[in-house]
Amino acid sequence: MVRTILYSTALYDGVLIKAEEANRGEAYSCPVCQGDMVLKQGTKKRPHFAHKALTENCTPESALHYSFKRLLAEALKAHIISQQPLQIAWSCYWCLEEHVGNLIKRAQRVEVEYRLGPCQPDIALLDANDRVIAVIEVVVTHSPEERVLEYYRQKSIGVVIFRLESEDDLNRIGALMHPDEVDSCLNPRCKRCNTRTNRKDLAIIESICGRCHRPMLVAGILSKGALCGEFYPSDLELAKSKGVRIGYWQSNRSQWRYPTSACPNCQGVIGLPWLWDKHVNPQLNLRTEIFPAGYVCNNCDIDLCGKRQVRWHRGEG
């Protein structure tokens, strides 16, 4: 059931105050039309404000939009002054990964209803050179037009969108926020095709050799939530620096040779078919350490250095 939006905030001596924090008998005014308001604290409806006299073109939706925008702008300014990060978390449309980033990392100034070419975003974040680096759109009834979003993309301006459904959304403003949409990706672009790359991590697993049953370290690559045994040159160097012995395994079916983990005792190597089932499967509950291993373009199958996966066909090299 859709929840009716109420006037949940009002101005008291110029300060925006929530209904649940207000006191009866005080003089309140509407944050949108400046009309006089009274506090309602009954038993049938949650605390809210109401106009003493109805004002044309003033709605609870417009008041919610204004209140969220103002409270968020005040929070942004406070974090910039105190130099405390204001984190947001989102699922990235471009790389399909989960990101957490500091919304004010490069911001030095906050502007509300900032005129920006053909656009007027609800909130604009500007850097030390007065360049708009990100905008925040607060949506209650109308979403930004596609031409506006395309303008932001052309100017390389990140877009953060909050979609509000009730006054409860005012509580979304905090030290870690979850916007509904973020048109920005933290991963670097591929130098070849210019698409967003994907982060990869190196997993070092304390496992047991399947041949001699002695302890051994096994390396795997973690990317987009999946573990695999495909290594780039930098991955192998990192694995070696963490104590993993590298050997080479050949598939009799495909005739390809792949780098893989080797036992330091018997020198036996782990074939790719057994890598998951006997070594890196999380259900095995083996002690694992994770190390950042850079980025890879899944479109070009190269890393940021332009290197391809290490493997070669029988008879090569």
Residues 235 and 275 in one domain: yes
Residues 170 and 202 in one domain: no
Question: Is the residue at 106 inside a domain?
Answer: yes
DSSP states along the chain = -PPPP-B-EEEETTEEEEGGG--TTS-EE-TTT--EEEEE--SSS-SEEEESS--TT--HHHHHHHHHHHHHHHHHHHHHHHT---EEEEE-TTT--EEEEETTSS--EEEES--BTTB--SEEEE-TTS-EEEEEEEESS-PPPHHHHHHHHHTT-EEEEEE--SGGGGGG-SSEE--SEEE---SPBPTTT-PBPEEEEEEEEEEE-TTT--EEEEEEEEETTEEE----HHHHHHHHHTTPEEEEEE-TTT-EEEEEEE-TTT-PBPPHHHHIIIII-GGG---EEEEEEEEEETTTTEETTSPPPS-EETT--
Number of domains in the chain: 3
> Which domain, by its residues, includes 18?
9-58
47-61 pLDDT per residue, tens = 999 999 878 889 999
pLDDT at 225: 63
What pTM did the predictor assign?
0.82
Question: Is the residue at 140 inside a domain?
Answer: yes
140-164 pLDDT per residue, tens = 988 999 999 999 999 999 999 999 9
Question: Is the residue at 3 inside a domain?
Answer: no
Question: Is the residue at 191 inside a domain?
Answer: no
Residues 116 and 131 in one domain: yes
Question: Is the residue at 1 inside a domain?
Answer: no
Residues 271 and 213 in one domain: yes
Taking 50 as the pLDDT cut, the residues of the chain under it are 1-2
Residues 40 and 77 in one domain: no
